[in-house]
A and B are shown apart, each in its own frame.
Chain A
Amino acid sequence: SQQGEEDPQALSIQEGENATMNCSYKTSINNLQWYRQNSGRGLVHLILIRSNEREKHSGRLRVTLDTSKKSSSLLITASRAADTASYFCATDTGNQFYFGTGTSLTVIP
């Protein structure tokens, strides 16, 4: 089975609210990345967090990594309608790279 599993599968929130999605993985990693995919488009890299980092910020994005629990979370603050997309985590195990199952986020204006 794939390395990364995301939770929830789908999330619907009002504009201005925060959105949190989680990623769990199975083996040790070098780094974990988050990507966004708008409908009908390619994936866009959002942020990379290394295994020795616990938290990282980029604009309205905050990523945490807990290697003891083999999990990561992506928080999008003050969401906008334009944040509507699917979000994927991806893990680099050193000799493989796995994408998670994705979370579909809908932000209602």
Chain B
Amino acid sequence: DTAVSQTPKYLVTQMGNDKSIKCEQNLGHDTMYWYKQDSKKFLKIMFSYNNKELIINETVPNRFSPKSPDKAHLNLHINSLELGDSAVYFCASSQDFWAELFFGEGSRLTVL
């Protein structure tokens, strides 16, 4: 059983399009995250969320938005994609904020 699963694994799209990446965790965790990893492998937190609080990294453009239909899912919506959005996006979850994080396998987004 995959603990944190995200789809799609690869996503190639044109500038200006809108896309979504889905994330599901079956660990019963209360907190989920989205990270962006750039070509130099630097990991940047984008959002952290539990059923009480959404923390948004202020440097994230508002074209990015998290959507959580329930505790086990945190999807990432991206509007008006730009070339600089190309990266690997990781979903993660943990029991509490900043406890041991469990990561998905990543979604590689390429914007042409």
- Interface set of A (CB-CB < 8 Å, partner B): 2, 30, 33, 35, 37, 40-45, 48, 86, 88, 90, 92, 97, 99, 101-102
Q: A42-B4, A42-B90, A101-B42 are in contact. Are A92 and B98 (CB under 8 A)?
A: yes
> Which residue of A40, A45, A88, A102 is within 8 Å of B102 (Cβ)?
A45
Total B residues in contact with A, Cβ cutoff 8 Å: 18
A40 proximity list for chain B (CB < 8 A): 106
CB of B41 within 8 A of CB of A102, answer yes
Whether a CB of chain A sits under 8 angstroms from the CB of B43 is yes
Q: Give the docked Cα–Cα distance between A30 and B45 (Å).
A: 18
CB of A48 within 8 A of CB of B105, answer no
Interface of A is mostly: strand
CB of A43 within 8 A of CB of B100, answer no
CB of B43 within 8 A of CB of A88, answer yes
Whether a CB of chain A sits under 8 angstroms from the CB of B101 is yes
> Which residue of B90, B97, B101, B105 is within 8 Å of A45 (Cβ)?
B101
B90 proximity list for chain A (CB < 8 A): 42-43
A41 proximity list for chain B (CB < 8 A): 105-106
CB of B102 within 8 A of CB of A86, answer no
B45 proximity list for chain A (CB < 8 A): 97
Nearest-Cβ distance from residue A106 to partner chain B, whole angstroms:
14
B106 proximity list for chain A (CB < 8 A): 40-42
B66 proximity list for chain A (CB < 8 A): none
Q: Give the docked Cα–Cα distance between A44 and B100 (Å).
A: 9
Which residue on A lies nearest to B90, using beta carbons? A42
CB of A42 within 8 A of CB of B104, answer yes
